[in-house]
A = this chain, B = another copy of it.
Amino acid sequence: MQIPLSVDFQKQSAIQQQVVQHLRRMIQEGALPPGSKLPSTRSLSEQLQVSRGSVVIAYHHLAAEGYLETQSATATFVSRTLPENFTQAKPVKAARPAPDCVAQEPEAFLSRVQPLQLFDPEQDQLGCDFRLGRAEKSFFPIKAWRRLIPECLGGAEHALSQYGDPAGYMPLRTAISHHILRARGVRCTPEQVIIVAGCQEGLNLISLVLVSPGAAVAVEDPCYQGAAGVFEAHHAQLVPIPLDDGGLDVDALAASHARLAYVTPSHQFPLGSTMPLERRKALLDWASKADAYVIEDDYDSDFRYERSPLPAVKSFDTAERVIYIGTFSKSIGAGLRMGYVIVPPQLAQASTAAKALINNGHPWLDQAVMAEFIRSGAFEKHLRVIRKHYLGRRDHLIAQLRLRLGPDCIVKGADSGMHLVVYLAGLGMPAHALQIKLKAMGVGVYALKESPARSFSRFPQDETILLLGYAGLTEQKISIAIARMAEVLHGRTQRPYN
């Protein structure tokens, strides 16, 4: 099918904007009735002689507005239920008010960064919780800490009482530069390594350096809420880019006007895909051509189960366009609040200045302990041990899901990381309803919209997505929890989990 549509290359407005406006009008006027199938992005892009990315972005935008429904990567339909006020197109996001010349009210800040899931002390009450990003507490290397802390405290009065280098303790930066080459193929000097309080501070640091107010920042849709929130806190304009099974759609990214892109190529958060090698290279090509930067958040890359890990995007970054963020929150413990950013050499000075302004450096003692933990080889040994345990838990979870829920239960995103995605399509209950029923039974499972993810578009399939973080649960608990899930889905007797 060809639809009567053309674009005007002389016009000021972007190509995808024109496609959005034309299609929206055709739907509003009934020329494209509810339920009708649209041409594939590839065929429409050939018809219009525009990049496929522009069409992907336009479809995605209209889906976010409620005009289109995507049922697979190739099949897009006009929604059966159109948006209520369909005569007035709603923008994806309300325009930011113009900045005023006075300090803002806290409400302005909160409304800019919402929705943000904050810490809830009650979340620890569940007997069996598949919460995302939760590590196994008994794997914390407490013996090493008990030994290393007194060692590091010897003669430490100077380091503890004085200001240090805001970019971090040099022995730790050196240890990380050695580790990251072996583990992820990333070559860097210690001067390119900035010690931060976890991935989140890394994102904050980069925002301070690179995001000017109103700057377009491309993010995955859906993406990690802490990333979306911190970019918005710095007054960025977020540009959601659609995902497929290979992660971020680089064609769509190239069709946007963003010059900064935030990606999770090792294990997309939250959907779990791994970006293939070719696309990693396409991402780098885009960055070079667009004079842009890529933020590679490698938050749980320490856990890779299926084959040898793909090298980080940063490892191919000959043009120095990638900012790599790593964390010890998953591999050691989130209560440590420690991670690192590896910046291209041309960003090192600005990043150090930004870290000085953010908090003037990381606490010294934790850095000294971590430096010795890595340098001695204990960290790599620790990683090997917990990787084996997490692999066992993952395999057990997948086996239990297949055993209890049968072949209709589709599992994705399990090749790496600490969580996987269950698609409930054939199981007869929306994810959110399942979450509520299981919570009452002491089992925490997470629908997409209840997870620490930000979805910019609402697709019908979102309600079939269930996220399960398995790293913090024993195999015994996993068995009990999935049995409960099967009971709920199959309507059998339900009793609370204790």
Interface presence of A336 (CB below 8 A):
yes
Could you give, for residues 320-331 of chain A, a 1 whenever the CB lies within 8 Å of some chain B CB and a 0 otherwise? 000000000100
Stretch at the interface among A102-110, A404-412, A424-432: A102-110
Asked if residues A237 and B357 are in contact (CB atoms below 8 Å), the reply is no
Asked if residues B337 and A106 are in contact (CB atoms below 8 Å), the reply is no
Stretch at the interface among A70-78, A185-193, A345-353, A484-492: A345-353
CB distance from A191 to the nearest CB of B (A): 12
Contact of A137 among B142, B158, B259 (CB under 8 A): B158
CB distance from A181 to the nearest CB of B (A): 24
Contact of A346 among B106, B139, B362 (CB under 8 A): B106
Interface presence of A247 (CB below 8 A):
no
Asked if residues B336 and A364 are in contact (CB atoms below 8 Å), the reply is yes
Asked if residues A363 and B336 are in contact (CB atoms below 8 Å), the reply is yes
Interface presence of A265 (CB below 8 A):
no
A132-152 interface (Cβ within 8 A of B):
133-140, 142, 145-146, 149-150
Interface presence of A399 (CB below 8 A):
no
CB distance from A319 to the nearest CB of B (A): 15
Q: Which residues of B contact A351 (CB under 8 A)?
A: 106
Q: Which residues of B contact A204 (CB under 8 A)?
A: 357-359
Asked if residues B142 and A153 are in contact (CB atoms below 8 Å), the reply is yes
Contact of A335 among B146, B159, B212, B329 (CB under 8 A): B159
Asked if residues A106 and B347 are in contact (CB atoms below 8 Å), the reply is yes
Stretch at the interface among A27-35, A50-58, A114-122: A114-122
Asked if residues B164 and A142 are in contact (CB atoms below 8 Å), the reply is no
CB distance from A345 to the nearest CB of B (A): 11
Interface residues on A, range: 35 or more
Stretch at the interface among A214-222, A272-280, A373-381, A389-397: A214-222
Interface presence of A3 (CB below 8 A):
no
CB distance from A99 to the nearest CB of B (A): 5
Could you give, for residues 145-184 of chain A, a 1 whenever the CB lies within 8 Å of some chain B CB and a 0 otherwise? 1100110010011111111111000000000000000000
Asked if residues B350 and A363 are in contact (CB atoms below 8 Å), the reply is no
Interface presence of A398 (CB below 8 A):
no
Asked if residues A226 and B162 are in contact (CB atoms below 8 Å), the reply is no
Asked if residues A335 and B235 are in contact (CB atoms below 8 Å), the reply is no
Asked if residues B110 and A353 are in contact (CB atoms below 8 Å), the reply is yes
Contact of A359 among B121, B200, B237, B364 (CB under 8 A): B200
Asked if residues A162 and B142 are in contact (CB atoms below 8 Å), the reply is no
Q: Which residues of B contact A356 (CB under 8 A)?
A: 116, 118-119, 200, 226, 229
Closest 6 CB pairs of A and B: A106-B350, A201-B359, A197-B359, A161-B333, A335-B364, A103-B260
List residues of chain A with CB under 8 Å of any chain B CB.
99-104, 106-110, 113, 116, 118-119, 121, 124, 133-140, 142, 145-146, 149-150, 153, 156-166, 196-198, 200-201, 204, 208-217, 226, 229-230, 233, 235, 237, 257-260, 292-293, 329, 332-338, 346-347, 349-354, 356-366
9 A-B residue pairs with Cβ-Cβ distance under 8 Å, sorted by A, are A104-B209, A124-B162, A133-B163, A142-B153, A146-B153, A161-B335, A208-B233, A335-B365, A337-B363
A138-B157, A359-B359 given; 15 more Cβ-contact pairs under 8 Å: A101-B237, A102-B257, A103-B211, A103-B258, A104-B211, A104-B212, A109-B208, A110-B353, A133-B163, A197-B360, A197-B362, A204-B357, A204-B359, A226-B360, A337-B361
